[in-house]
Structure 1
Amino acid sequence: MNRLELKYGCNPNQKPAEIYMADGSDLPLQVLNGRPGYINFLDALNSAQLVKELREATGRPAAASFKHVSPTSAALGLPMSEALKKACFVDDIEGLDDSPLALAYARARGADRMCSFGDFIALSDTCDATTAQIIKREVSDGVIAPGYTPEALEILKAKRRGTYAVVALDPNYVPKEDERKEVFGITFLQGRNNVVIDKTLLDNVVTENKVIPTNAQRDLLVALITLKYTQSNSVCFAVDGQAIGVGAGQQSRIHCTRLAAQKADLWHLRQSPRVLDLPFRPDIGRADRDNTIDLYLSDEDSGDVLDDGNWQRFLTTRPQPFTRAEKREYLAGITGVSLGSDAFFPFGDSIERAHRSGVSYVVEPGGSVRDDNVIDTCNKYGMAMAFNGVRLFHH
């Protein structure tokens, strides 16, 4: 099959819509269930590249959660602490520790649960039953993977009353070197971004602190590969083998950093005892828990943040307030976070903001007329920063 008709394009008024191979060859994918849409396929094909590159760069299974052509997170299949499992709502999943792929998706989905609501999922490896069980109970549009076990496929086919989108992508597919797209009737042509992201990009450490430990090198690669498929401008915070805050599509570097840092802070705060011990009613669903946690962690500095009645509907008792000062104190103990940027930092302001969210390691292309200011700011906080010389804009 070399053409696949879609229901509509980005919006219902945009018809006709289809995906096809311009050279007449067969599509390198198969729809096993459901009817993915135009945006679904944009998410699927971008995220599939991301997890494939993570797998190749690290040797570990990887997963990504995508929304509107940018990742909410991407993660490797690494062990999870009990606190992280609880924060990601997967502490009840049987066999989780035995499935690296399930661990990867649990991390990717749990990093930014608000933005992952209704995501499209990419998996680097054949989807197993444990991973499918996590996917089944989350609000999601679809999944793309190189394959599915029979049990996993049956689980996914039953989701959304049988309409859930399940796509298999040929793992051996290699696209052409040139890529094209049309805007306003004009065709754009460029070479594919085939830059290989590996540890050699971290060799040029320009700060006084020259030490980037192995785990931080891994996290910097996670950040860079995530950025390669994130709408620019973009900045990514990563730790423990996963992206914990992605700032995408902003016009200024500092706004990217602030957005990503806020998400990273929430990821840390969700694992605090104050949040993990919130007394939720047992019948409350995950989406309502997420909304309540978001309210609880809002910037209000009083105990009135849940006075609109949410605490009475979702919690058995009213919680103690988590004040701004208490949150700052908790976050002040965070260190070892990695930060990647798809282009150079023009000022030291992004480093200042990153420091407040526990960043110890930075990678960026370099090349700003104010590189010295950025380096000095890193030195001020003892950070190690590498210039990789590679811009990763994606549009």
Structure 2
Amino acid sequence: MRYGMNPHQQAEVISGGPRILNGEPSMINYLDALNAAALAQEADAYTGHPAAASFKHVSPAGAAVAGEIDDTAARTWNVPASASGSLLSAYVRARDADPKSSFGDVVALSRPVDLETAEFLSTVICDALIAPGFEPGAADVLGRKRGGRFLLFETDPTATPPARERRDVLGVALEQDRDTADLAAALPDGLDPAVRTDALVGMATARYTQSNSVVLVEDGSAIGIGAGQQNRVDCVRLAGAKARIWWLRRHRSVDALPRIEGMKRQDRLNWQIRFAGHEMTRGQLADFTTLFGAEAAARYDDQTWRDAWMQELRGITLVSDGFLPFRDNVEHAAEFGVSTIVEPGGSTRTAEVAAAAHEYGIAHVQTGLRLFHH
């Protein structure tokens, strides 16, 4: 490998791994690519739709199956609405969930890369792509990215990972069964098909997200991922904060900010995120006023439009990789338009959590399946 976790650490691949078509990966590139590919493949297998994941530091910034590219995403990423339902739509939706975090990501696609998707990927800042094949011309387009250093991994879609996983930690060798639990079988019969799809996308995402984790899903897209927190309620709040910004970016106050000639797409996105989330420093607010004008700046401290717009966010599915220990998780979830909670259940307070869900009009689904990932 180019290096291990850090440039001062040497590293090598002992055995196995995807084929490298281009570039020289580091250890983090490998970990991101392998986990991202597994997530995308599972989401596709469980839903029957092309899937994509956007990975950073061994957790997804976004994940989605193919679906509608809404007007905001179409304008942001300069893709036609006619691409809805395609492999490209899966990645656009995954990247658009948290574009601040997806900057410089590892991309995973569940199906062979077509030329349209390859050409789009050549226009965004990403570090690597892993996929089960490439249609004619697609690998050539991507091989020229980053001055010819763009990482391309190709998986073998017929390969089956070993049944056991092993790792060495400070001289201690650890081994366990690979997590192959059937996500679909853990869900009860009778779920609305759209909710079932969202639950499966959320569960596949949680399975490959650093625990503790909570995933908020809307229309087959993970719009808020709270990863790697030491307590469950912080996961809910973090996932909710990300989903909130995703939704506020669709309000005209954010989406229609004046376009600044010469401003790069990511810079515009970062300003929109700061504006939507009300998270500017004093210096940033001064720069924002200079760039976008006093009228836009006057709306920055006005919470009225944010509060009113958040009332329109509904039908969100929350998936938790572990049981919800207290009712405050439900109370926070209700603030972000959650209508269905999917969790393992089985804690001493699950009855209290279920009662809170009923109080807020939220369907409470217990799977009995924990999905921790480290």
**Which residue does 2:6 correspond to in 1?**
11
**Which residue does 2:135 correspond to in 1?**
149
Aligned amino acid, residue 378 of structure 1: A
Structure 1 counterpart of 2:290, from 312, 316, 323: 312
Q: How does 1:190-339 map to 2 (within 5 A)?
A: 190-198=176-184, 200-203=185-188, 212-299=191-278, 307-313=285-291, 315=292, 318-319=295-296, 320-322=298-300, 323-339=302-318
What is the alpha-carbon distance in structure 1 between the residues aligned to residue 351 and residue 79 of structure 2? 49
User: Do residues 102 (structure 1) and 88 (structure 2) align?
Assistant: yes
| Structure 1 residues not aligned, in runs of 5+ | 1-5, 22-26, 205-210
Q: Contact 2:67–2:84 (CA<8 Å) still a contact in 1? A: no
**What is the TM-score of this pair, normalised by structure 1?**
0.90
User: Do residues 137 (structure 1) and 123 (structure 2) align?
Assistant: yes
- Structure-2 change in CA distance of 1:10 and 1:260 (3 Å): same
User: Do residues 343 (structure 1) and 322 (structure 2) align?
Assistant: yes
Matched residue SS, 1:45 = helix
- Structure-2 change in CA distance of 1:195 and 1:97 (3 Å): same
Q: How many residues were matched structurally?
A: 372
Deviations 1:213-264 (A, max 9, x none): 2111110111111000000000000011110000000000000010000001
Aligned amino acid, residue 158 of structure 1: R
Q: Contact 1:301–1:324 (CA<8 Å) still a contact in 2? A: no
Q: Contact 1:296–1:306 (CA<8 Å) still a contact in 2? A: no
- Structure-2 change in CA distance of 1:311 and 1:130 (3 Å): farther
Post-superposition offset of 1:59: 0.6
Q: Percent identity over the alignment?
A: 39
- Structure-2 change in CA distance of 1:220 and 1:305 (3 Å): farther
Aligned amino acid, residue 148 of structure 1: F
What is the alpha-carbon distance in structure 1 between the residues aligned to residue 235 and residue 81 of structure 2? 37
What is the alpha-carbon distance in structure 2 between the residues aligned to residue 336 and residue 93 of structure 1? 26
Q: Contact 1:364–1:386 (CA<8 Å) still a contact in 2? A: yes
Aligned amino acid, residue 290 of structure 2: Q
Matched residue SS, 2:286 = coil
Q: How does 1:25-64 map to 2 (within 5 A)?
A: 27-64=16-53
| Structure 2 residues not aligned, in runs of 5+ | none
Matched residue SS, 1:181 = strand
Q: Contact 1:181–1:189 (CA<8 Å) still a contact in 2? A: yes
Matched residue SS, 2:325 = coil
- Structure-2 change in CA distance of 1:291 and 1:181 (3 Å): same
Structure 2 counterpart of 1:369, from 327, 348, 355: 348
**Which residue does 1:3 correspond to in 2?**
none
User: Do residues 184 (structure 1) and 170 (structure 2) align?
Assistant: yes
What is the alpha-carbon distance in structure 1 between the residues aligned to residue 284 and residue 373 of structure 2? 39
Aligned amino acid, residue 309 of structure 1: D
What is the alpha-carbon distance in structure 1 between the residues aligned to residue 289 and residue 151 of structure 2? 35
Q: Contact 2:66–2:89 (CA<8 Å) still a contact in 1? A: yes
What is the alpha-carbon distance in structure 2 between the residues aligned to residue 369 and residue 126 of structure 1? 46
What is the alpha-carbon distance in structure 2 between the residues aligned to residue 243 and residue 364 of structure 1? 16
Matched residue SS, 1:219 = helix
Deviations 1:275-297 (A, max 9, x none): 11100213211111122112212
Matched residue SS, 2:137 = helix
Q: CA RMSD in A?
A: 1.9
Matched residue SS, 2:147 = helix
Post-superposition offset of 1:298: 3.2
Structure 2 counterpart of 1:354, from 311, 330, 333: 333
What is the alpha-carbon distance in structure 2 between the residues aligned to residue 305 and residue 329 of structure 1? 28
Q: Contact 2:51–2:90 (CA<8 Å) still a contact in 1? A: yes
Post-superposition offset of 1:311: 4.2
Q: Contact 1:28–1:173 (CA<8 Å) still a contact in 2? A: no
Matched residue SS, 2:330 = helix
Deviations 1:108-149 (A, max 9, x none): 111000110110010000011111122111111100000112
Q: Contact 1:136–1:155 (CA<8 Å) still a contact in 2? A: yes
What is the alpha-carbon distance in structure 1 between the residues aligned to residue 280 and residue 103 of structure 2? 27
